[in-house]
Amino acid sequence: MIFYEDFVKKIEELEGEDLSFSEIESFGLGKKKKMGGYGIALPLILIACYEIFVAFFLKQYYLILIALVLFYFGIRQCRNMWAYRITLDTKEKHLLFQKMDIDLENLSSLQVREAKIGRKVIPVLDFITKDKKQMILPMYMERQVFLVRILQKMLGVRFSIQK
């Protein structure tokens, strides 16, 4: 992840260049987040498999319960990593993220700003709809600058960057 000031500077530098994008753009989880997620999920699954092996080998079947819990958390972590996807439909002007469907025509403003999530400060997209609902979307994805530039082009004056 680049620093927020560098992120804003890169967006401003690329502002004058042509921007070409397809009808539907998809943004997945960043590589560092994927590696961190796999670093948690795979050891949990491997430990669960080892626990099952030990449970059958030593005939201590209560260890299977521990293994099932570990296996569940490992699979759940993998599912969370695979499910992180932001889809931007530029033709219909919709942004889809998990169970959120944001109609970009119904937005009163969109602001890119820094926010503290957990212990880290990361860039977020702050959506405010015309009926005064606020949705904050953390930008863990790859190609962050490209997403921001597309949204900037689509929304025009309703888009702002907090510096």
What pLDDT score was predicted for residue 2?
Answer: 60
Tens of pLDDT along the chain (163 residues)? 467 777 777 777 777 677 777 788 888 888 888 898 899 999 999 999 999 999 988 888 888 999 999 999 999 999 988 888 888 888 888 888 888 888 888 888 888 888 888 888 888 888 888 888 888 888 888 888 888 888 888 878 887 777 7
CB 85 within 8 A of CB 59: no
Task: Output the pLDDT for position 88.
Answer: 85
